[in-house]
Amino acid sequence: MVDLIVYFISYNFIFDKQPVPVGHIEIGAHIAAFLVSFTISFPMGFILSKYVVFTTSALRGRVQLFRYGLTVMSCIGLNYLFLKIFVDVLGWYATPSKALTTLLVAVYSYFTQQYFSFKVKGKNVSST
């Protein structure tokens, strides 16, 4: 929810739905708002995952952080891809597009964190 709130504020009030000049290029306000929300959601997400959601993982903190970072990099790619499709290709409104994107990426993220970032050693993941 924090990610979506920060995104909404950034998109609608900080960037005022206008393209953002970065050097010699411009990026869409929806992408710029995603980058702002990411700077808050990354550290917050790691702390919540480590100390609230996946507390049984015996992996060292730095290994968890590294794996979490890899997972987050793939989530960044998915966020970018979905936002480009929903907003730029399909012409949907940015905030609902971000909400749907967040839902899709959260499901992906949960499973990659459970079975990779915060994997519990010796846990049998097959149901046979």
Residue 126 in any domain: the answer is no
Residue 124 in any domain: the answer is no
Residue 122 in any domain: the answer is no
According to the model, what pLDDT value does residue 128 have?
Answer: 44
According to the model, what pLDDT value does residue 74 have?
Answer: 94
Distance, CA of 88 to CA of 81 (rounded, Å)? 10
Residue 38 in any domain: the answer is yes
Q: Which residues contact 80 (CB under 8 A, 6 or more apart)?
A: 31, 34
According to the model, what pLDDT value does residue 81 have?
Answer: 95
According to the model, what pLDDT value does residue 82 have?
Answer: 95
Distance, CA of 68 to CA of 55 (rounded, Å)? 14
Residue 96 in any domain: the answer is yes
According to the model, what pLDDT value does residue 113 have?
Answer: 87
Residue 97 in any domain: the answer is yes
According to the model, what pLDDT value does residue 122 have?
Answer: 62
Question: Per-10-residue mean pLDDT for the chain, 128 residues long?
Answer: 89 94 92 90 87 85 89 90 94 93 91 85 52
According to the model, what pLDDT value does residue 46 have?
Answer: 87
Other beta carbons within 10 Å of 122: 6
Residue 127 in any domain: the answer is no
Classify residue 4 by burial, with Cβ atoms within 10 Å: 0-12, 13-18, 19+. Answer: middle
Distance, CA of 100 to CA of 30 (rounded, Å)? 13
**If residue 24 lies in a helix (H) or strand (E), which one and from where to where?**
none
Domain count, the chain: 1
Q: pTM for the whole thing? A: 0.68
Residue 37 in any domain: the answer is yes
DSSP one-letter string for 89-126:
IS---HHHHHHHHHHHHHHHHHHHIIIIITPPTT---S
Domain extent at residue 18: 2-117
Strand 20-22, strand 25-27: pairing: antiparallel
